[in-house]
Structure 1
Amino acid sequence: MSGVLAGFATIGMIIGVGFLLAHLNVLDATAQRVLTRTAFFVASPALMVTVLGRSDVHQLLSANLIASLASVFVVATTYVLLARLVWKRSAADTVIGTFSAAYVNAGNLGLPIAAYALGNAALIAPMLLAQLLVLQPSGLTVLDAVTHVPQPGMSRGRRLLLRVTRPLRNPLAIGSLIGLALAISGVKLPVPISAPLGLLGGMAVPSMLLAYGISLRLGPRPGAGEPPVHVATILALKLVVQPLVAYLIGAYVVGLSGHALLAVTVIAALPTAQNVFTFAMRYGRGIVLTRDAIFFSTVLSLPVIIVITWLLA
């Protein structure tokens, strides 16, 4: 349990630094945009190469992967149906809302919890794979398609080529695919390449957290920007439905038990990832919604994880 508390405390302190720097006018909205662009285009792709590249492929392609994929699929599908049929949200806003409901904080919070609370950092790999190679590329492809404005005079064939190849040109998707290829092939990058990638990847999480802290200070207070029922639905999907689906699929479909079942359930109950806020900033959609979802899910996920651990440990 100390690993869980340490992970949450680390996140809270860095967000607090971003909030304080914005309050003191050291960083402003321009700095927030620079931090999010750096994380999106440089640091996060490097992090994906290093994290996935050193993952155990057997751990990636385990029964936990099925449970993780199922939890992501059920929550994402439920939110998309609600957003499009009930709330009449645009395609771009629907993608950002789906990320807020289904994209767990598997990186900066999941890794320490897996390492210190669950005893094995590799346990986070299946959820990382489900998100980085399924949820994230599909969502970003939609965002690229609906927010991209072709240049005047561009031919129809060139527009079609750009649309078809857009997923392959997304920096996060490229980083994820390279990392997966390294894990499957067993190839180890030479130090002159792996060392700079490690340094660049190390900027990803702090950049996201600092930018998020700035948004808490400069934007409306949490809970004031979006309809409460909308935020509450996202929180219910994230903190109740997703871990419940992971547990049910893990226990009754793929036969997980004991520590493995605890791990897949706890990981599914992690709060909304900070890089969802980076996506919202990058595409200019759902910024306040993602900020609120991250804030409240992070606060509420701690008691949820404690209850899950008490019931299943």
Structure 2
Amino acid sequence: MGTLLNVSLPFFGLIFIGYAAGWTRIITAQAYLGLNAFVIWFALPAMLFIKMAQAPVFEAFDWKFVAAYSGGGLIAYAFTVGLSRLLFAINWGERAVQGMSSSFGNVGFMGLPILVTLFGDAAVLPAVLIIVFDHVLLIPLTTALIEGSNGGNASLPAIFKRVAIGMSRNPLIISTFAGLLWGLTGLNLLTPVETLLNLLANASAPCALFALGLTLVGRPISEGLEQVSLAAIGKLAIHPLVVWMLAAYVLKLDAFLTAVAVIQASMPTAANVYILATQQNTYVQRASSTILVTTVIATITVSAFMVLFTAY
């Protein structure tokens, strides 16, 4: 129990403090928007840029790692969609968002700071690969299923173009590739620039976790609890367990990469799912509820995976 508290309590304590600050209205909605913007546009991008600029990307890239994580995510997605088809009278667009809720975790806002704190800079590259491939695979897949369900006439090239435009405006994706390109030049950052980026990067973990707590304030759980429960089981149990089996036993990754993949897979549903659901006007209420439910339960499940895999 002592190990569990030492590993997980600081992370989830920050989330709880953020929630308490929002619930008591110590921090207003306007202040939250400012903090959230700081994390998304400055703190996390600074960390990604400087870490990617210093990472031996091509030497460290491991397709088996990507296959283990993305394969586990797609299996969790298919599991949720398939079981939902048997259990619930909802359309394919709603099933798609439900499937994304079970496979698209909070790997950037929550997972990345946690992994860097746990394992140091070595975790940055594999964690970033997960962020990139989640966006490349799951957002187009879900968008295409929603379009098809709604009888939309958008072609696959049009869907991929819309997704590509969205990714090109994502500060986490931009900073990742900017850092990669800078690293390829072989140039060192000027000392004042590196110091500035490190100051911003060091603020990413506490601010991101605190802001995550704020996002949970006011999210209702008013309908579709059976559907939310299915997505939560997919996200917090099926996803990490399948990734574990693929990484450790099928593709035989080393203990460190297995730990990174499983801990990332154990993260609760990301806010990106709610954003996509809102943009498509599909499954919005239950997507919001899934984020809340998985984040609350993750205080136990993620803690367990963290303790299990920090002894790699």
Same topology, TM > 0.5: yes
CA contact (8 A) 1:143 1:283 kept: no
Structure 1 counterpart of 2:301: 300
Query: Closer, same or farther in 2 for the Cα pair 1:187/1:140, shift >3 Å?
Result: farther
| CA distance in structure 2 between the aligned counterparts of 1:178 and 1:297, rounded to whole angstroms | 32
Structure 1 portions without partners, runs of 5+:
116-120, 147-158
Q: CA deviation at 1:10?
A: 1.6
Q: Distance in 1 between matches of 2:159 and 2:225?
A: 40
Aligned to 2:100: 98
How far apart, CA to CA, are the structure 1 residues paired with 2:207 and 2:41? 12
Aligned to 1:118: none
Partner of 1:287: 288
* Greater mean deviation of Cα atoms: 39-48 or 281-290: 281-290
* Aligned 8 A contact 2:32 2:214 in 1: yes
Which residue of 2 is the match for residue 240 of structure 1? Answer: 237
Equivalent positions of 1:36-75 (< 5 A) are 36-57=36-57, 58-61=59-62, 63-75=64-76
Residues 1:3 and 1:100: Cα distance change in structure 2 (over 3 Å): farther
Matched position secondary structure for 2:103:
helix
The answer to whether the aligner puts 1:263 opposite 2:273 as a matched pair is no
Please give the secondary structure, in 2, of the residue aligned with 1:27.
coil
Aligned AA (1:135): D
Q: How many residues align?
A: 288
Matches of 2:84 and 2:181, distance apart in 1: 35
With structure 1 as the length reference, what TM-score do the two structures score?
0.70
> 1:183, CA displacement in angstroms?
4.9
Is the Cα–Cα contact under 8 Å of residues 236 and 268 in structure 2 kept in the other structure?
no
Which amino acid in the other structure matches residue 245 of structure 2? L
Q: SS of the counterpart of 2:111?
A: coil
Match of 1:277 among 252, 271, 275: 271
1:14/1:206 contact within 8 Å kept: yes
Q: 1:272-313, CA deviations, whole angstroms, 9 ceiling, x for partnerless residues?
A: 27xx2377469855333312222212322323555x559x96
Do the aligned partners of residues 205 and 255 (structure 1) sit closer, same or farther apart at CA in structure 2, a change above 3 Å counting? closer
Q: Look up the SS of the partner of 1:101 in the other structure.
A: coil
8 A contact 1:281–1:287 mirrored in 2: no
CA contact (8 A) 1:100 1:294 kept: no
Matched-pair contact (CA < 8 Å) for 2:140–2:159:
no
* Structure 1 residues 1-313: aligned runs within 5 Å: 5-57=5-57, 58-61=59-62, 63-79=64-80, 88=90, 94=96, 98=100, 101-103=103-105, 104=107, 105-115=110-120, 121-123=121-123, 125-130=125-130, 132-138=131-137, 163=162, 165-183=165-183, 186-220=186-220, 224-225=221-222, 227-256=224-253, 259-260=255-256, 263-264=259-260, 266-272=262-268, 276-277=270-271, 280=274, 284=278, 285=284, 286-306=287-307, 308=308
Q: Kindly provide the amino acid, as one letter, of the partner of residue 271 in structure 1.
A: M
Give the superposed CA RMSD: 4.2
Query: What CA distance in whole angstroms lies between the structure 2 residues aligned with 1:102 and 1:183?
Result: 28
> How many Å apart are 1:27 and its aligned residue?
1.0
For 1:33, the aligned partner's letter is: L
Amino acid at match of 1:242: H
1:177-233 C-alpha deviation (Å, 9 max, x unpaired)? 22333455655433333333333334443333333323444444xxx3453333332
TM-score of the superposition, structure 2-length normalised? Answer: 0.70
Cα distance in 1 for partners of 2:3, 2:188 equals: 29
Percent of residue pairs bearing the same amino acid type:
22
Residue by residue over 1:109-149, the C-alpha shift from the partner in whole angstroms, topping out at 9 and shown as x without a partner, is: 2223335xxxxx5246324312x221135556789999xxx
Q: CA offset at residue 17 of structure 1?
A: 2.4
